[in-house]
Amino acid sequence: MEDQTMSNLERSRIARADQGTYETEVSIGGREDLATITEECSKNPGHTTFKSVENLSLQDFPQEYQDPDVLECALRQASLTVCLVVNYTSPSRPEKFPGSDNNYPFYNMRGSNGSRFGTGSILAIHDIDQYSSNCKCYCKECIASGNPKTEWGKIIVLTAKHVVFNDEEGQHTEIELFYDSVTRDQVCKLSGTVKYEQMDYDWCMIYCPTHDMTLVRKLQDNLHRYDDLKRNLHTKYMPLTPKLAVVTSHPHGCHKQITVGTWTEREELGPKHTRYTYTADTCPGCSGAKVWILAEYEECMHTCHMHSQAITVHRNMSGVGWY
């Protein structure tokens, strides 16, 4: 029985603890409680190792990676990082992971509208006009207008399934791009539909239509540059067996932060399937964030490593990625 005298902060704390080692943020009171939640953070008090997009510099990287291309790659990854606000928890969440005694995150929040916060990243942008002129934009604005635009794009966002479980949750998810500072002056919002998800690898893909072609081109440029930098840096540093790991995320559902560390364990989970443990700091809200492992180059963006869990304070673990 829910205690009505309990404060939203207290209820958020209980719901957050319920996810075990996963790192979603929960704020029953919505965004307005996030500043207090950040201040009360016990995992990384003060968040001194977290750098905003504006403050990240070469000195934040270990000496051997103080390379302008490494800095640019981290910032390009950040430009493709989105904040996810999930305002509904699906009744379909299972109590336990299939075939396991481990609790599945947020079973106890099923059916509630308390907000959960996570991170996602843009993994592809399709320019629709290029492929088919018959197809029309289905963003909310176009549906409401009755006159859908014919030139539009589809932005594909990747996150963790424990953050956005299915389309029922996807329909209640706000996707915020360019949330880079407290002022929120650059924020641009998208919404979309969950098309694919997989429980054992903990990933979920959201397709977001938009007819803002300036946005589509900007994201395409960022993605191409990010991919080129990542591939070139991989080739350049591989002979040195690089250990760099960089997380770009929205800790506590607040503005974007970058943390830098090294990977400490690489698990092989079948042919070409890997999972990493790293020292780059993470907090609740970082679930679903992209982890750039310099030693890995995925042939395809779908297969990247996303932040999943905290093993200990400075030992964090990704979901499964493959190459």
From candidates 44, 79, 121, 287, binder to Zn ion by CB under 5 A: 44
Using CB under 5 A as the binding rule, whether residue 310 contacts Zn ion is answered as no
The DSSP secondary-structure symbol of 60 reads G
Q: With CB under 5 A as the contact rule, which of the stretches 130-138, 179-187, 236-244, 293-301 interacts with Zn ion?
A: 130-138
Q: Exposure string (b/e) for 101-116, b if CB count within 10 Å is 16 or more?
A: eeebbbeebeebebbb
| Shortest distance (Å) from residue 17 CB to Zn ion | 14
State which residue, 44 or 287, has the beta carbon closest to Zn ion.
44
| No. of helices (H) and no. of strands (E), the chain | 6, 15
Per the CB < 8 A criterion, the answer to whether 56 and 47 are in contact is no
Phi, psi of 78, deg, nearest 5? -60, -40
| Shortest distance (Å) from residue 143 CB to Zn ion | 8
Which stretches of the chain are assigned E, i.e. beta strand? 25-27, 81-86, 115-127, 153-159, 173-177, 188-190, 193-198, 203-210, 244-249, 257-268, 273-278, 290-293, 305-312, 315-318, 321-322
- Which 80-99 positions form the footprint of Zn ion (CB under 5 A)? none
- Which 208-267 positions form the footprint of Zn ion (CB under 5 A)? 211
How many other C-beta atoms lie within 10 A of the C-beta of residue 88? 20
3-class state of residue 12 by DSSP: helix
Q: With CB under 5 A as the contact rule, which of the stretches 29-37, 164-172, 174-182, 207-215 interacts with Zn ion?
A: 207-215
| Shortest distance (Å) from residue 141 CB to Zn ion | 5
Cα–Cα distance, 321 to 301 (Å, whole number): 10
State which residue, 112 or 150, has the beta carbon closest to Zn ion.
150
Using CB under 5 A as the binding rule, whether residue 283 contacts Zn ion is answered as yes
| Shortest distance (Å) from residue 252 CB to Zn ion | 6
Using CB under 5 A as the binding rule, whether residue 142 contacts Zn ion is answered as yes
- Which 161-180 positions form the footprint of Zn ion (CB under 5 A)? none
Using CB under 5 A as the binding rule, whether residue 137 contacts Zn ion is answered as yes
Phi, psi of 154, deg, nearest 5? -120, 120
From candidates 34, 74, 128, 139, binder to Zn ion by CB under 5 A: 139
Q: With CB under 5 A as the contact rule, which of the stretches 67-75, 80-88, 94-102, 143-151 interacts with Zn ion?
A: 143-151
| Shortest distance (Å) from residue 321 CB to Zn ion | 24
| Shortest distance (Å) from residue 190 CB to Zn ion | 11
- Residues near 208 by beta carbon (within 8 Å), at least 6 away in sequence: 154, 155, 156, 157, 175, 190, 191, 192, 193
Using CB under 5 A as the binding rule, whether residue 155 contacts Zn ion is answered as no
Using CB under 5 A as the binding rule, whether residue 188 contacts Zn ion is answered as no
Binding positions for Zn ion, rule: CB under 5 A: 41, 44, 137, 139, 142, 149, 211, 283
